Structure 1
Amino acid sequence: MSLDLATTRRIAKLARIGLNDQETEAVRAQLGGILGWIEILNEVDVEGIPPMIGTSMNTALAQRPDVVTDGNCQEKVLSNAPDRAGPFFTVPKVVE
């Protein structure tokens, strides 16, 4: 399916995309390609196939206990700081 330039300009306006004439022609070709793929998908026979909501509807999400596994490493974290004051990072003042 191909779109005319007026329809392409209208779609761009609705999407609030500013396009010049050269860009409009490129977008028209891209939209035509997308619509062509949709037409191909419409040819697929899906009779008797139920719609799929997700890839695994009956599977529960994996959960793990909420425990701290890498805490108590304050000195290791602060060793990467370019400047520090006691147990805190220090940064340049940005508000006067």
Structure 2
Amino acid sequence: MSNSGDGVAVEDVRRIAELSHLQLNPQEEAGMLRDLNAILGYVAQLNELDTSAIAPMAQVAEILDLEGVVEAHLREDKAGSCLERSSVMISAPDSDGIFFKVPKVIER
């Protein structure tokens, strides 16, 4: 972000768009600027909350106690059959036989 400390600047939006390979017109830049600053404002509000008494958790579902409702919606974690590598790789546009090869997208 810019060094102004006032949030995201137009130059920041343009750099993010460049890194994301997006072409934004001036109206889209203005909208993105507004949206990113709104998000940062919301995060700043959240940072003001005292969370010192809140225990860390890995998933939101950990705090739900709905008498088995949460567990009922989770599938059983079990191993299943996989596709044969050779049958998948034959359909790939480019492969070394083990991995898919994809074009390089970062040129900077």
Name the TM-score, length of structure 2 as normaliser: 0.49
Higher normalized contact order (CA 8 Å, seq sep 6+, divided by chain length): 1
Gaps of at least 5 residues in structure 1 are 65-96
Q: After alignment, is 44-53 or 34-43 more displaced?
A: 44-53
Aligned residues: CA RMSD? 2.7
Larger Rg: 1
Whole-Å separation in 2 of the counterparts to 1:23 and 1:30 = 10
Gaps of at least 5 residues in structure 2 are 1-5, 77-108
Q: 1:46 aligns with which of 47, 51, 61?
A: 51
1:7: Cα distance to partner?
A: 0.6
1:39: Cα distance to partner?
A: 0.3
1:20: Cα distance to partner?
A: 1.3
Q: 1:56 aligns with which of 59, 62, 86?
A: 62
Q: After alignment, is 11-20 or 31-40 more displaced?
A: 11-20
Whole-Å separation in 2 of the counterparts to 1:15 and 1:41 = 27
Whole-Å separation in 2 of the counterparts to 1:42 and 1:4 = 21
More strand by share: 1
- 1:56 corresponds to which letter in structure 2? E
| 1:17-96 pair list within 5 angstroms | 17-54=22-59, 55-56=61-62, 61-62=71-72
> How many residues are treated as equivalent by the alignment?
64
Q: 2:16 aligns with which of 11, 15, 26?
A: 11
1:5: Cα distance to partner?
A: 0.7
Q: Give the SS at the match of 1:2.
A: coil
Aligned partner of 2:100 in structure 1 is: none
Q: Give the SS at the match of 1:49.
A: coil
